[in-house]
């Protein structure tokens, strides 16, 4: 029997230290700990795929909490079934002792574990949807206050309108304008359109 650990954080800015420490306390070999820095919306993750390729019947997989496995209710349920039924491995959720497939393998124990799994995976997805909703609402509120997202607009020279006229009259070529304004070609065309529409 081999023992593995799976660690996931949602982005490269987040740290996996807390999950790794939990795996180290269980003395899981470092080579058997697989880490993804990726969203939990699906299971299309490189480290997770490598992990599942290594799993054999009788192996044990540790995860810190059910939302580290994923945040999609149906996919968590499906992956749990694949791992425990098709792969034939055991799973232990460190933060939820009841979710340890090594315990209470009788009918009642299985029923309780399945019920807890359904509740926790539902909570995981619900939290993901709430986060997305809060982000959308936050962006909308910021826009109403005039807050702009993305790169700040590069200021144009005060004589930009005159430069465009000279370009149209073939007194200047495109390369000359790009050098004078220090902007990209795509920005030049976009700002020219804005100028023609009376935005500039």
Is 10 marked active-site?
yes
Residues in the chain: 200
Side-chain-side CA neighbours of residue 109 (13 Å): 10
Phi, psi of 61, deg, nearest 5 = -120, 125
Structure tokens at 94: 């460190």
Contact 69, 62 (CB under 8 A): no
The answer to whether 6 and 48 are in contact (CB under 8 A) is yes
The H-or-E segment that residue 131 falls in is: helix 107-144
Distance, CA of 193 to CA of 200 (rounded, Å):
9
List residues with catalytic annotation.
Answer: 10
């Amino acid at each position: 029997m081999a023992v593995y650990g799976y660690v996931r954080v949602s982005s490269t800015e987040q740290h996996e230290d807390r999950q790794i420490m939990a795996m180290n306390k269980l003395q899981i070999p470092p080579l058997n700990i697989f880490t993804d820095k990726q969203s939990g919306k699906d299971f299309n993750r490189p480290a997770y795929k490598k992990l599942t390729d290594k799993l054999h019947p009788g192996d044990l997989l540790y995860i810190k909490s059910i939302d580290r496995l994923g945040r999609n209710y149906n996919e968590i349920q499906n992956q749990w079934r694949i791992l425990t039924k098709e792969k034939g491995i055991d799973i232990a959720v460190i933060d939820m002792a009841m979710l340890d497939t090594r315990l209470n393998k009788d009918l009642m124990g299985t029923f309780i574990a399945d019920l807890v799994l359904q509740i926790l995976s539902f909570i995981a997805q619900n939290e993901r949807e709430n986060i997305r909703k809060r982000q959308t609402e936050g962006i909308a509120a910021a826009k109403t206050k005039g807050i702009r997202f993305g790169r700040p607009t590069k200021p144009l020279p005060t004589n930009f309108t005159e430069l465009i006229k000279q370009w149209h009259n073939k007194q200047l070529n495109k390369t000359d304008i790009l050098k004078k304004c220090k902007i990209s070609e795509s920005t030049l065309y976009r700002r020219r359109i804005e100028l023609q529409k009376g935005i500039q």
